[in-house]
């Protein structure tokens, strides 16, 4: 297991990814494990708040204000929720931005995951739901796509020149062979 300290630039996205991970564990846990998983979620919420410069008191005041204006979930009243697409693409963004995922052009699965992530974030940008971390991730992924495309174009051009040279050499050798 590779352990390191996150940079200030990647910490916001890593903190959000940790919160999503912990929330997912609450959803998938057994009833007797819920309390421990909720404690992990609370810790992740505090981490996200800290990363964005908020205190526990700031979060509690915001919660109380929203409860006063919008009500509380504990009443059992269900409304229509606007959900955000949450998937392993967030983890992929974290890996890309942190440099933890090796970008190998030969890895077709990596390329497909990168392109899927670009499509998902683009949809979120168009719908106005993308945050600044996702926008940074998108920029990084698009730059990798452009770089890979430029590299492949250069390789293709070099290969074409090589093939032309080979054809010329083969034609010349056949002509010399006929002349002998």
pLDDT tens per residue across span 93-132: 666 655 555 555 557 777 777 787 788 788 878 878 777 7
Nearest partner of 25 among 6, 9, 4, 39, judged by Cα: 39
Instruction: Enumerate residue ranges in the chain where pLDDT < 50.
Output: 80-86
Contact yes or no for 78/49 (Cβ under 8 A): no
**Domain definitions of the chain by residue range:** 9-74, 86-180
Predicted confidence at residue 80, as pLDDT, reads 43
Predicted confidence at residue 82, as pLDDT, reads 41
CA distances to 2, 84, 117, 172 from 12, in Å: 20, 18, 18, 63
């Amino acid at each position: 297991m590779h352990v390191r300290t996150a940079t200030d630039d990647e910490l916001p996205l890593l903190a959000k990814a940790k919160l999503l991970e912990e929330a997912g564990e609450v959803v998938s846990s057994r009833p007797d494990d819920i309390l421990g998983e909720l404690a992990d979620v609370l810790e992740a919420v505090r981490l996200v708040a800290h990363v964005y410069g908020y205190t526990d008191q700031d979060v509690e005041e915001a919660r109380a204000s929203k409860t006063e204006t919008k009500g509380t979930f504990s009443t059992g009243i269900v409304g229509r929720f606007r959900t955000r697409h949450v998937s392993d693409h967030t983890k992929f963004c974290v890996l890309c931005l942190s440099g933890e995922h090796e970008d190998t052009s030969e890895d077709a699965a990596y390329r497909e995951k990168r392109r899927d992530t670009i499509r998902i974030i683009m949809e979120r940008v168009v719908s106005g739901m993308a945050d600044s971390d996702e926008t940074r991730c998108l920029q990084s992924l698009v730059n990798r796509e452009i770089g890979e495309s430029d590299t492949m174009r250069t390789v293709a051009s070099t290969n074409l020149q090589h093939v032309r040279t080979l054809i010329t050499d083969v034609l010349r050798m056949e002509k010399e062979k006929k002349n002998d």
